[in-house]
Chain A
């Protein structure tokens, strides 16, 4: 059998609300393309939506890098969200359920973390925030 390796690696700009819809749709498209099941697809696009919105509201927008990654036989999608916003003062607090500095429900960051397989957040005051997450196809 022929093993096909898909080379998808792209960068999307998130500057306005409509970009969120485009991002979600693109992630869904790629997820479907690598054969990710519908539940995992839904989890991943929901996490995408949460993080992209956070980046838009708190970070003033930024970029999302989308990449199909493999580890052995596993295939998955890695997303890196990067903004040059004010940064998060207390990441531990931001990762708590129900904590918000805005008007949201405070479920975005902790919720997104629960929906993916790997989740790393880094932030520096005055420099910006980077969120890296990964969802395996069968994860």
Chain B
């Protein structure tokens, strides 16, 4: 069965979607990612969709699901590399992807994830914004 690879990079998981997503493949990715977050204890998930020429309501829902589930498991999700035409289309479609962090590219997405990691030592009583 076809699968989208999930790479572990330090504290984070990196997914680069390079193929046409059909629904079953997207659902498999959702399952695999959540399993990986659980197994590796990753604190962040970065999904690169720069090769996707379309994100429809189904894929939008999957992206939202991944972000929601990861968040419950204490991991942040950042979607990077969305093509401008895809962004325009998503808004018109009525799917603003609220609740999902986005960044322009992988580098900025990584920086965003890093910035959201709590300082590794004690002192956990300040930023509880959610």
| B-chain residues with CB within 8 Å of residue A45 when the two chains form the complex | 53-54
| B-chain residues with CB within 8 Å of residue A9 when the two chains form the complex | none
Interface size on B, residues (CB 8 A): 22
With A53-B23, A104-B57, A104-B58 as given contacts, are A42 and B88 in contact (CB-CB < 8 Å)?
A: yes
| B-chain residues with CB within 8 Å of residue A138 when the two chains form the complex | none
| B-chain residues with CB within 8 Å of residue A70 when the two chains form the complex | none
With A104-B57, A105-B95, A107-B94 as given contacts, are A43 and B23 in contact (CB-CB < 8 Å)?
A: no
Contact of B20 (CB < 8 Å), options: A21, A43, A105, A108: A21
Minimal Cβ-Cβ distance residue in A for B58: A53
Q: Taking the complex as formed, is A50 at the interface, i.e. its CB lies under 8 A from any CB of chain B?
A: yes
B89–A105 touching, CB < 8 Å: no
Give bound CA distance, A5 to B53, whole Å: 27
Give bound CA distance, A25 to B53, whole Å: 10
Most buried by B among A41, A108, A111: A111
Q: Taking the complex as formed, is A24 at the interface, i.e. its CB lies under 8 A from any CB of chain B?
A: yes
A111–B85 touching, CB < 8 Å: no
Give bound CA distance, A43 to B55, whole Å: 10
| A-chain residues with CB within 8 Å of residue B85 when the two chains form the complex | 38-39, 41-43
With A42-B88, A105-B60 as given contacts, are A115 and B24 in contact (CB-CB < 8 Å)?
A: no
Most buried by B among A38, A42, A112: A42
Give bound CA distance, A18 to B93, whole Å: 22
Minimal Cβ-Cβ distance residue in B for A103: B61
Q: Taking the complex as formed, is A20 at the interface, i.e. its CB lies under 8 A from any CB of chain B?
A: yes
| A-chain residues with CB within 8 Å of residue B89 when the two chains form the complex | 39, 42-43, 46, 115
User: What is the 8 Å Cβ interface bit string for chain A, positions 2-22, against chain B (1 contact, 0 not)?
Assistant: 000000000000000110110
With A42-B88, A115-B93 as given contacts, are A24 and B54 in contact (CB-CB < 8 Å)?
A: yes
Give the B-binding residues of A (Cβ under 8 A). 17-18, 20-21, 24-25, 28, 38-39, 41-43, 45-46, 49-50, 53, 97, 104-105, 107-108, 110-112, 114-115
Give the A-binding residues of B (Cβ under 8 A). 20, 22-24, 53-58, 60-61, 83-86, 88-89, 92-95
